[in-house]
Amino acid sequence: MPLHDKNTVRGFFKEAVYASSDLTVSAPKYQFPKAETDPRHAYAIVSDEMLLDGNARQNLATFCQTWVEPEVHQIMDLTIDKNMIDKDEYPQTAEVERRCVHMLADLWNSPDAANTIGCSTTGSSEAAMLGGLALKWQWRKRRQKAGQDTSKPNLICGAVQICWHKFARYFDVELRQIPVTADKLTLSADDVIAACDENTIGVVPTLGITFTCLFENVKAISEALDKLNKEKGWDIGIHVDAASGAFIAPFIQPDLVWDFRLPRVKSINASGHKYGLSPLGVGWVIWRDAEDLPEELVFQVDYLGGNMPTFALNFSRPGGQIITQYYNFLRLGREGYKKVMEACLGHAQYIADEIRKMEIFELFYDGKGGLPGASWRIREGVNPGFTLYDLADRLRMRGWQVPAYPLPANLNKIVIQRVLVRHGFSRDMASLLIADLKRSVDYFKNHPVSSPSTQKESGGYHH
Ligand SMILES: *Cc1c(COP(=O)(O)O)cnc(C)c1O
């Protein structure tokens, strides 16, 4: 056997990766590769390509977790083979999911007597679908029982995340979205009541609006609905989209009543992979009571020789994110989550203060009372020689992703720029960001963008 035969040589010693025959040609892109590749070479190709993505830690646009403890990496590795759907094969994973459901019901103040039920999902979008579906089925059952028409369901909401538009389209529900205005950035109870009718399946307030970081007033809406339901003999319930807020309000504003303390709140969704601090791929939906989840939507699966109710859109799904969620609950507890959220809010408020000092900007959100973020616009009447889109591009040169976008609907003439602060961001990083932002503004002072690009209507996609 000649010693220089490629495969034999590989068997004896390792080629220099970047001088190998695999890496001195371009990798297949669209046709299924014919032959095998050395794993080190394939790894180099794939991991190098990932360098072209933005740096997740500097992505201040996303609500999703981009830093986790080393133990979370270890648990993810340990659990990479666990399928969430196989409750019988992985009963302990199923048990851990159940514990998380009960811990969350406790965190969201489920009453002692309630027979809470809930499940993990891949994120809040799927959790929202399930919450919306339950509302739709309960409404339809009530209507059918009374011999009434069930062909025109509607759902009331404010400036919701895109998942609610999807829910409405996929499941054939009219979305009655109450537009935001300058003096009503959050849902007003009066507007909600005016939009309700006998075909309303539910109302969805948001705890942590993606565009503005604000919390909607769930309590006021709940009280108004109690009154309306009593007058009309309806039973319109609330699902709270608390994707981010459900992991912030309980620790930072424990007296804010937005959760199961309000009997009208039938279900709540949250993203475990946002301020729940788990890696991407976990959301939660919890019902106040088993009765609020129509039994027709529940499937029974084998579990330790018995049955376990499941409610999900997916079949096979990874279990690691759920197990790391449990790790986080054990690891941090209420005190740890409070510290993490306080640190995030502190950094957000620091950024807001620094922005406030720069006269060309006007704060839109100062990091207080809602999500750990800050947003600003260019002060009215000021022409600094650039737009917020230009500034976003300039910051991108240093790796920072700080999106600029127009507010929704009636306010789409107002463009703001926003940062979100997550666990994994330090005061030092905040000060480095501010230094880069100031440098960018100075740069534009000397090199104004010749024709201030007309404010692009490039609507943002909000994570
Ligand atoms: C992020 C978000 C969603 C969607 O959640 P995913 O976990 O990304 O699926 C829904 N609603 C709100 C308010 C959000 O912030």
Distance (angstroms) between ligand 1 centre and the Cα of 171 equals 18
Domain range for 426: 342-458
Q: Is residue 15 located within the same domain as residue 93? A: no
CATH number of the domain where residue 23 is located: 4.10.280
170-179 confidence digits (pLDDT tens): 999 999 999 9
What is the rounded distance in angstroms from the CA atom of residue 367 to the CA atom of residue 346?
8
- HEC string for the chain: CCCCCHHHHHHHCCCCHHHCCCCCCCCCCCCCCCCCCCHHHHHHHHHHHHCCCCCHHHECCCCCCCCCCHHHHHHHHHCCCCECCCCCCCHHHHHHHHHHHHHHHHHCCCCCCCCCEEEEECCHHHHHHHHHHHHHHHHHHHHHHCCCCCCCCEEEECCCCHHHHHHHHHCCCEEEECCCECCECCCCHHHHHHHCCCCEEEEECEECCCCCCCECCHHHHHHHHHHHHHHHCCCCEEEEECCCHHHCHHHHCCCCCCCCCCCCEEEEEEECCCCCCCCCCCEEEEECCHHHCCHHHCEEEEECCEEEEECCCCCCCECHHHHHHHHHHHHHHHHHHHHHHHHHHHHHHHHHHHHHHCCCEEEEECCCCCCCEEEEEECCCCCCCCCHHHHHHHHHCCCCECCEEECCHHHCCCEEEEEECCCCCCHHHHHHHHHHHHHHHHHHHHCCCCCCCCCCCCCCCCC
pLDDT of the residue at 347: 98
Number of domains in the chain: 3
Q: Is residue 335 part of a domain?
A: no
Q: Is residue 381 located within the same domain as residue 349? A: yes
201-249 confidence digits (pLDDT tens): 999 999 999 999 999 999 999 999 999 999 999 999 999 999 999 999 9
Q: Is residue 284 located within the same domain as residue 149? A: yes
Tell me the mean pLDDT in the region 393-398: 97
CB-based contact 321:280 (threshold 8 Å): yes
341-381 confidence digits (pLDDT tens): 999 999 999 999 999 999 999 999 999 999 999 999 999 99
- Of the three residues 295, 330, 365, the one that is the final residue of a domain is 330
Mean per-residue pLDDT over the chain, rounded: 93
Distance (angstroms) between ligand 1 centre and the Cα of 124 equals 5
* For the CA of 208, the nearest atom of ligand 1: 13
Q: Is residue 146 part of a domain?
A: yes
Distance (angstroms) between ligand 1 centre and the Cα of 207 equals 11
* For the CA of 242, the nearest atom of ligand 1: 13
Q: Is residue 18 part of a domain?
A: yes
Q: Whose CA is nearest to atom 5 of ligand 1?
A: 124
Q: Whose CA is nearest to atom 3 of ligand 1?
A: 124
- Of the three residues 306, 330, 354, the one that is the final residue of a domain is 330
Q: Is residue 36 located within the same domain as residue 115? A: no
Q: Is residue 36 located within the same domain as residue 77? A: no
Question: At which residue do the structure tokens 């959050």 appear?
Answer: 186
Distance (angstroms) between ligand 1 centre and the Cα of 410 equals 22
Distance (angstroms) between ligand 1 centre and the Cα of 31 equals 35
Distance (angstroms) between ligand 1 centre and the Cα of 162 equals 8
Helix axes 320-357, 427-446, angle to 10 degrees: 50
* For the CA of 273, the nearest atom of ligand 1: 7
Q: Is residue 350 located within the same domain as residue 309? A: no
Q: Is residue 166 part of a domain?
A: yes
Distance (angstroms) between ligand 1 centre and the Cα of 463 equals 6
Q: Is residue 98 located within the same domain as residue 238? A: yes
Counting ligand 1 atoms within 8 A of each CB, the residue from 63, 121, 124, 274 with the most, and so the one to mutate, is 124
Q: Is residue 98 located within the same domain as residue 214? A: yes
**Window from 25-29, 191-195, 408-412, 439-443 with minimum mean pLDDT:** 408-412
Q: Is residue 435 part of a domain?
A: yes
Q: Is residue 259 located within the same domain as residue 400? A: no
Distance (angstroms) between ligand 1 centre and the Cα of 128 equals 9
Distance (angstroms) between ligand 1 centre and the Cα of 117 equals 21
Length of the chain: 463
Counting ligand 1 atoms within 8 A of each CB, the residue from 59, 274, 313, 371 with the most, and so the one to mutate, is 274
pLDDT of the residue at 302: 82
* For the CA of 274, the nearest atom of ligand 1: 7
Q: Is residue 61 part of a domain?
A: no
Q: Is residue 88 part of a domain?
A: yes
CATH number of the domain where residue 124 is located: 3.40.640.10
Tell me the mean pLDDT in the region 265-291: 97
CB-based contact 282:272 (threshold 8 Å): yes
Q: Is residue 307 located within the same domain as residue 348? A: no
Q: Is residue 368 located within the same domain as residue 307? A: no
35-54 confidence digits (pLDDT tens): 999 999 999 999 999 999 99
Q: Is residue 236 part of a domain?
A: yes
Q: Is residue 352 located within the same domain as residue 322? A: no
The binding-site residues of ligand 1, defined as CB within 6 angstroms of any ligand atom, are: 63, 123-125, 128, 161, 163, 206, 208, 210, 241, 243-244, 271, 283, 463
